[in-house]
């Protein structure tokens, strides 16, 4: 996606306003006023500045619709998989890995995260940077902070982080665009992640994950390292057997709270290379014709720290496997 100048966005924004779009006057609501006080008292913002930002924010109904039915919750695995594991996304991922081969290698050396995992995250999130989101982040965060009670606390905090982040980075909070949930740039970082995990990976003095793919590569790798990616450990293996729904081996939640030994003792086909003591949990996904049971490990859990969903983590893992060098014509190679 070609970048659009902030000036142009402001002009278009101004035209939309004069064409009849109504701002929500969030700055006049009790919640909005409390938010303004926090920004002034805790972070030294000027009240007038925060007021005019909230005054400019527009509620978008499509944001409220999108957040109430994310693909991770409404799709079966086989439909979800087909969105991400497809020839064009794989081909373009290989191009991305060729273009940024030196930077991906450096990221592996510095953070211990495999190039294909970094590329797969950016591929799943934004199709390697092509689709970084068309909502104004300010509108997305204000809509969710003030008009979406189930997660208003979280999004008020993200709105706060967004104003801090744009101040720190010298960016215009009225201009930035992102997803319906306010995620930005190649790796779709939310504002708090930007502040905690973005790194300047090309050494130009700025951590720019919005427009700079090299900084995005380093930042995704840093995010994984900080969430304890374990270099050399496997992510997941498909088991040959099915497990009945409700089996205690299909533990609830996202954490790998059993061990590989538990699955071996149950007679399941865990590959011999995997250590008995490795934390593990089995998940059962609905394929097109049958259920698939996968044994997932700590690194699978780390992928869910990016998006709290089995489907998401499995899509990233499978795309990464497809992007591994040498996978072009030999889909059936053993893992390694």
- CA–CA gap between residue 181 and residue 77 (Å, rounded): 23
# chain residues binding Ca ion, by CB under 5 A: 5
- 169 near Ca ion, judged by CB under 5 A: no
CB of 237 to Ca ion, least distance (A): 37
Closest CB to Ca ion among residues 30, 203: 203
Determine the straight-line distance between the first and last CA of the chain, rounded to whole angstroms: 35
Closest CB to Ca ion among residues 110, 200: 200
In the stretch 103-142, what mask flags binding to Ca ion with x, by CB under 5 A?
----------------------------------------
Catalytic annotation on 125?
yes
Give CA 10 to chain center in angstroms: 27
Mode of pairing for the β-strands spanning 279-286 and 291-297: antiparallel
Nearest to 204 by CA among 194, 191, 218, 190: 218
Binding Ca ion (rule: CB under 5 A), the pick from 51, 103, 125, 215 is 215
Vertex 275 angle, CA 218 and 319, to 5°:
40
Q: Of residues 125, 158, 160, 321, which has the active-site annotation?
A: 125
- 204 near Ca ion, judged by CB under 5 A: yes
Among the residue ranges 107-115, 159-167, 195-203, 328-336, the one whose residues contact Ca ion (CB under 5 A):
195-203
* CB 90 within 8 Å of CB 98: no
The pair of three-digit structure tokens given for residue 268, joined into one six-digit string: 């399941």
- 200 near Ca ion, judged by CB under 5 A: yes
Q: What is the dihedral of CA 63, 69, 71, 73, to 10 degrees?
A: 140
Residue nearest to Ca ion (CB): 200
How many helices (H) and strands (E) in the chain?
Answer: 16, 6
* CB 117 within 8 Å of CB 111: no
Binding Ca ion (rule: CB under 5 A), the pick from 72, 110, 202, 292 is 202
* CB 259 within 8 Å of CB 296: no
Q: Looking at residues 69 to 98 of the shown chain, list those that interact with Ca ion (rule: CB under 5 A).
A: none
Among the residue ranges 80-88, 194-202, 229-237, 270-278, the one whose residues contact Ca ion (CB under 5 A):
194-202
- Those residues with Cβ within 8 angstroms of residue 71's Cβ, 6 or more apart along the chain or in another chain: 80, 83, 311
Closest CB to Ca ion among residues 10, 206: 206
Among the residue ranges 60-68, 110-118, 209-217, 305-313, the one whose residues contact Ca ion (CB under 5 A):
209-217
Among the residue ranges 48-56, 59-67, 122-130, 210-218, the one whose residues contact Ca ion (CB under 5 A):
210-218
Mode of pairing for the β-strands spanning 258-259 and 279-286: antiparallel
CB of 186 to Ca ion, least distance (A): 12
- CA–CA gap between residue 259 and residue 255 (Å, rounded): 11
* CB 165 within 8 Å of CB 203: no
Nearest to 224 by CA among 301, 323, 131: 301
CB of 326 to Ca ion, least distance (A): 31
CB of 163 to Ca ion, least distance (A): 22
CB of 100 to Ca ion, least distance (A): 14
Among the residue ranges 66-74, 214-222, 273-281, 311-319, the one whose residues contact Ca ion (CB under 5 A):
214-222
Closest CB to Ca ion among residues 216, 260: 216
User: Whose structure tokens read 């190679």?
Assistant: 333
CB of 315 to Ca ion, least distance (A): 28
Catalytic residue positions, numbered:
125
**Positions that interact with Ca ion (CB under 5 A):** 200, 202, 204, 206, 215
């Amino acid at each position: 996606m070609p970048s659009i100048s902030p000036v142009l966005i402001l002009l278009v924004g101004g035209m939309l306003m004069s064409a009849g779009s109504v701002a929500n006057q969030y700055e006049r609501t009790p919640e909005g006023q409390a938010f303004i006080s926090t920004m002034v008292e805790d972070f030294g913002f000027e009240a007038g500045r925060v007021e005019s930002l909230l005054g400019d924010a527009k509620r978008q109904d499509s944001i409220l619709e999108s957040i109430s039915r994310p693909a991770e919750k409404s799709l079966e695995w086989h439909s979800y998989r087909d969105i991400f594991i497809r020839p064009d996304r794989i081909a373009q991922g290989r191009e991305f890995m060729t273009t940024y081969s030196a930077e991906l290698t450096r990221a592996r050396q510095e953070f211990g995260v495999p190039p294909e995992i970094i590329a797969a995250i950016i591929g799943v999130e934004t199709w390697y940077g092509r689709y970084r989101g068309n909502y104004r982040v300010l509108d997305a965060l204000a809509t969710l902070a003030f008009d979406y009670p189930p997660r208003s606390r979280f999004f008020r905090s993200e709105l706060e982080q967004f104003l801090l982040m744009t101040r720190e980075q010298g960016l215009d909070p009225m201009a930035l665009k992102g997803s319906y949930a306010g995620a930005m740039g190649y790796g779709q970082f939310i504002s708090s992640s930007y502040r905690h995990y973005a790194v300047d990976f090309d050494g130009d003095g700025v951590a720019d994950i919005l427009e700079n793919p090299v900084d995005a590569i380093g930042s995704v790798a840093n995010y994984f390292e900080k969430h304890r990616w374990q270099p050399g450990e496997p992510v997941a293996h498909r088991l040959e057997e099915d497990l009945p729904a409700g089996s205690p081996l299909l533990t609830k939640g996202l954490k790998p709270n059993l061990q590989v030994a538990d699955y071996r003792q149950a007679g399941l086909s865990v590959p011999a290379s995997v250590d008995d003591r490795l934390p593990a949990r089995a998940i059962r996904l609905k394929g097109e014709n049958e259920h698939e049971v996968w044994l997932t490990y700590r690194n699978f859990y780390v992928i869910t720290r990016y998006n709290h969903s089995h489907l998401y983590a499995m899509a990233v893992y499978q795309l990464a496997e497809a992007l591994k060098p040498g996978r072009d014509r030999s889909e059936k190679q053993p893992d390694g």
